[in-house]
Structure 1
Amino acid sequence: MKKNKKTRNIRYGRILDLVNIILFPILSILLVLFIHKYSDKYYLYAIGLFAFVFVVILLLFKIKGKMIENIRRVFLLLMVILLGLANFYTKDITSGYEAFASSMDNSETTIHYDVLTLKESTNNLQTLEDLDGYVIGFPTNGSAEATDKAKETLSSKLSDYGSLNYDNYMTMYSDYTQEYVDAIVVDQSQKTNLPEDYRNLYEISNVVDTYSFTIKNNIKGNDIDITKEVFTVLVSASDQIEAPTSHSLSDTNMILIIDPVNHIIQTISIPRDSFIPNPAYGNVSDKLTHTGNDGVENTKVAIEKAFDIKIDFYVKISFSSLIEIVDTLDGIPVNVLQPIVEQDEYRSFAEEDLIYLDAGQQTLNGKQALAYARHRHSYENQDLGRNQAQIEVMKGLVKRVLSPDGITKVDDVMKLMSNYVIMNFSESQLTSFVKQQVDNMPSWEFKSLSLDKGMQGSEPTASMPSVYSSIYYLSKSDIEKVNAMYHLMKERNRLSEFHFDLDDMYNGYSTYEESNDIVLAP
């Protein structure tokens, strides 16, 4: 009886050894493949380590003795368990990365349209069906594809209607309220951008139909090696709580010029009220923030034209992401430049919802970080003060993510970003950049340029031509400064030569030539 039990134990032990000796190389290979996706250096280390351990295990099989057999069996079992846990964890990381990577090459934008009719009108058009045989106005100052899809959608619901195209929302609103057209199609993003004369547009109108669809973005990222070449990124953020795929005001506009070899990030924050040509309105001057209502591509082109530079990539972010990302990281270190009082994310004026921050270095939670990034009314120059605050928040995010504790939360951050961020980097570009960072673990240097030589003013704008709006005139010297820094960063070996000289401020490095398209500060 004891002999049979001993024989069974030996057989079970050998089966366990066989299963583990098969699982060990399989799990090792899976883990090595994962490491290879994010690091070339540690991939080679991993191959060497697992090969060495496997050889040791095989050698242990050649040594006889009950104690050695038990040690080998326990060691092999522990290794398989550890590899299994490692693969389980890496699968979670991979799912976060893959979710985020799905936002790479995001070639679609979601647009939400309302069809409006006047509540009180001569023809008493109260439903969509009432519009058969009547004239509908369509905005054409944005995407032609969006206009075509709007017409196709209505054609599928109405047997017959007339259409009138408008390249200016103001003219369309005017014709609509005077009943020159019977209904209009309005991009929902315009709700936050209605001119004073038409703030009550939705109050006097019936929303007889609402629909959403996606359109193709036209701008693709530049096909360059971002591990070796200096590249530029437009970071555009919306103050509205919505998906980044929607067209909306571009409340924050920051240019990043990134040198991946010398590990320098040059940040340039552009005031949201900058008075620059709006491509969607035939390059008539508009507030920079309004360019976002026609898509992040429109904002990108507007900035390129204004500063005579080339932007390689864009990243569009919904501000609502900041709360969740910062809280996932358990807060970020930020130097608050001055005491502030700001509303919460829902713009509540209730005392219990207000957010108070003291000046100085501190750790901010998600709501506090959003409040600080949004706030501008306490600063002498509102836009410039907010721009500097946003740079401080960005620095805090980078420092936190690259900290030992922050790195363990990267997978959770990536999952969140997939819902709140769109960009036009390719997945291969992002992967190669991540590999470079993991392999080298460089320390990045942040530099910033302030555009503070302009002046405040009041002008009608392309998107609101009948209303005088608060605007910011950029100065020629600020534009030249951005242009010079762009070219110097692109010609990396000349960056050490760059200095400001009162007699030759930009040392001949700026290629900017003043254009009649942009109104500059005197």
Structure 2
Amino acid sequence: MLFRLVSYKNKLILDYVPAKYFIILEVVLVAITIIPFLIRKGKKTSIISMVISILMAIVLFATSILGVVYDKDIKNVLNKADQTIDDVVENSKLSTEEYGVYILKSDKAEELKDIENYNLGYNLSYAKDETDSVLKDVLAKANNKLIANEYDDLLKMADELLNTEKIAFIFNQAMLDLIENAGDDTNDGKNNGIYKNFTNKIKCIYVVNVKTAVKEYGGDKNVTKECFNVYISGIDTEGDVTVKSRSDVNIIMSINPVTHQVLLLSTPRDYYVPLSISNGVKDKLTHAGNYGINVSMDTLEMLYDIKLDYFIRLNFTGFVDIIDALGGIDVVSDYSFSTHGYSYSEGLNSNLSGIQALWFARERHAFAEGDNQRGRDQMKVIEAVIKKAQSSALLNNYDEIFANISKSFQTNMPKKDIKALVKYQLNETPNWKVVSTSVTGTGRSDVTYSVPNSRAYVMDPDENSVNEAKKLLQKIQNNKKIKVKTTTE
């Protein structure tokens, strides 16, 4: 079987696996399975474990099941795995924005031709070029029989839509999220905003998808010889991973292949900082994602005085289809809790469906540590998916599984660097020392750049913790040993 694999697709395998390992391929496959445990010890989940596992699992899922498939299956799975890497990288080049024309749900109109002579409101504050393009498209499709009016206040748009006849507005999903959360200035897990049911009162009668290029980062680092920084963004929305969305998880992962150290720096979603596009006006860090992943990255670069080389973006909603195709996953919960009609026990929760796993990964208000615990649970779901995918469950529906991986992940790390990292891990088997830390702050209520006329819950940064984080980032870049209280090896 090994001879057939090597002779069938010699170049593809050699791209990822050093030639010397063909002699002991089975040992390597075992090593891949236990890499998360080689990288860390103890109970704390390691992001580097998850990221390397994802990259290696996508590349080498096929080889982990060679003993039970035919040559044709080897060909199909290898090709699909390699194509998935291409798709995940290709996803990073464009971002998608879905705009819609919205009217009251009680309005009898069902499409553009039904709203002739309506007023059409739009707002250029959030994405001028994209909104201009959408406006032109809508007016053309409506034969210019709509009366276009520009607004600069998102909440005024919401009020007029709810209280005015014969009016329509252009919104994207980010705008709708901002409206629904406007006025929610507490951290109690309950939306107390005055527009919390806004989307239940309106309907969309026309959709326009706009794709824009994502700013290029990195490309000049030797990832096996130089320290490099990766921004990990976790989103939780319906639809494609390329859609712009709030970023609920914001982690900087600094990897130093020289010292075999990894620094994981987590920044709270509600951190009250100037965005790279806001001219000094402060906003919640999570809102940066609404303007594109480049704004999130640029904002973090401003905050920590560093350069981010790559990004990895995960959409947890997309995991639902992957998990169902795998036949469910097993997850260990740190606590017993219930959410959205599903209950989870402390300890092992067996055979969770995709939707059960999604709500497990989404919940944060049931825990004293809030977002921190949610982050740990999300990593547990990811590791459980990887573990299940490395079993024979992959055989049952590998085509659908790989397709959903393509929809749930983005990275701008070039394929050559992914190959180099996989080879480096297999060749050197370094004993990574992972150091985890997070910045802190004080919560309060204030207005934001994104919604200037309504207060929201924000967190003022603790400058001491930010300065300590900067020092750690500088140390790992300079090949120096780093140490904080929370460390895993």
Q: Quickly name the TM-score band, shorter chain normalised.
A: 0.7 to 0.9
| 2:130 equivalent in structure 1 | 146
Secondary structure in structure 1 of the residue aligned to 2:132: helix
| 1:252 equivalent in structure 2 | 249
| 2:314 equivalent in structure 1 | 317
Counterpart pick for 2:427 among 421, 426, 439: 439
The answer on whether the counterparts of 2:331 and 2:352 sit within 8 Å (CA) in structure 1 is: no
The answer on whether the counterparts of 2:4 and 2:71 sit within 8 Å (CA) in structure 1 is: no
| 1:299 equivalent in structure 2 | 296
Per-residue deviation, 1:273 = 1.6
Unaligned runs of 5+ in 1: 1-23, 47-80, 501-522
Deviations 1:413-467 (A, max 9, x none): 654321211121122222222222233344444321033x422212222223333
Using the alignment, how far apart are the partners of 1:164 and 1:356 within structure 2? Answer: 50
Counterpart pick for 2:454 among 445, 467, 471: 467
The answer on whether the counterparts of 2:6 and 2:13 sit within 8 Å (CA) in structure 1 is: no
| 2:78 equivalent in structure 1 | 93
The CA RMSD over aligned residues, in Å, is: 4.2
Using the alignment, how far apart are the partners of 1:322 and 1:252 within structure 2? Answer: 16
Deviations 1:343-366 (A, max 9, x none): 2xxxx33xxxx131315x887856
Between 1 and 2, higher relative CO (CA 8 Å, sep ≥ 6) is seen in: 2
User: Could you tell which deviates more after superposition, 159-168 or 463-472?
Assistant: 159-168
| 2:481 equivalent in structure 1 | 495
1:365 and 1:478, CA in 2 relative to 1: closer, same or farther beyond 3 A?
farther
| 2:437 equivalent in structure 1 | 449
1:163 and 1:449, CA in 2 relative to 1: closer, same or farther beyond 3 A?
same
Query: What letter matches 1:190 in structure 2?
Result: M
Matched, 1:103 2:99: no
1:95 and 1:207, CA in 2 relative to 1: closer, same or farther beyond 3 A?
closer
Deviations 1:452-495 (A, max 9, x none): x4222122222233332222222112211221121111111x22
1:203 and 1:373, CA in 2 relative to 1: closer, same or farther beyond 3 A?
closer
| 1:190 equivalent in structure 2 | 175
1:211 and 1:324, CA in 2 relative to 1: closer, same or farther beyond 3 A?
closer
Using the alignment, how far apart are the partners of 1:239 and 1:418 within structure 2? Answer: 16
Matched, 1:426 2:423: no
The answer on whether the counterparts of 2:233 and 2:251 sit within 8 Å (CA) in structure 1 is: yes
Matched, 1:376 2:364: yes
Query: What letter matches 2:337 in structure 1?
Result: V
Secondary structure in structure 2 of the residue aligned to 1:495: coil
Per-residue deviation, 1:370 = 4.0
| 2:112 equivalent in structure 1 | 128
The answer on whether the counterparts of 1:137 and 1:181 sit within 8 Å (CA) in structure 2 is: no
Query: What letter matches 2:77 in structure 1?
Result: D
Using the alignment, how far apart are the partners of 2:434 and 2:243 within structure 1? Answer: 30
1:421 and 1:477, CA in 2 relative to 1: closer, same or farther beyond 3 A?
same
Q: What percentage of aligned pairs have identical amino acids?
A: 22
Q: How many residues align?
A: 426
Using the alignment, how far apart are the partners of 1:174 and 1:232 within structure 2? Answer: 43
Unaligned runs of 5+ in 2: 25-65, 183-192
Using the alignment, how far apart are the partners of 1:90 and 1:253 within structure 2? Answer: 38
The answer on whether the counterparts of 1:236 and 1:250 sit within 8 Å (CA) in structure 2 is: yes
Query: What letter matches 1:431 in structure 2?
Result: K
Query: What letter matches 1:304 in structure 2?
Result: E
1:40 and 1:169, CA in 2 relative to 1: closer, same or farther beyond 3 A?
same
Using the alignment, how far apart are the partners of 2:87 and 2:420 within structure 1? Answer: 16
Query: What letter matches 1:142 in structure 2?
Result: Y
Q: Which has the larger radius of gyration?
A: 1
User: Could you tell which deviates more after superposition, 112-121 or 252-261?
Assistant: 112-121
Per-residue deviation, 1:269 = 2.1
Deviations 1:10-51 (A, max 9, x none): xxxxxxxxxxxxxx99985434323212123337869xxxxx
Query: What letter matches 1:297 in structure 2?
Result: N
| 1:209 equivalent in structure 2 | 206
Using the alignment, how far apart are the partners of 2:283 and 2:418 within structure 1? Answer: 34
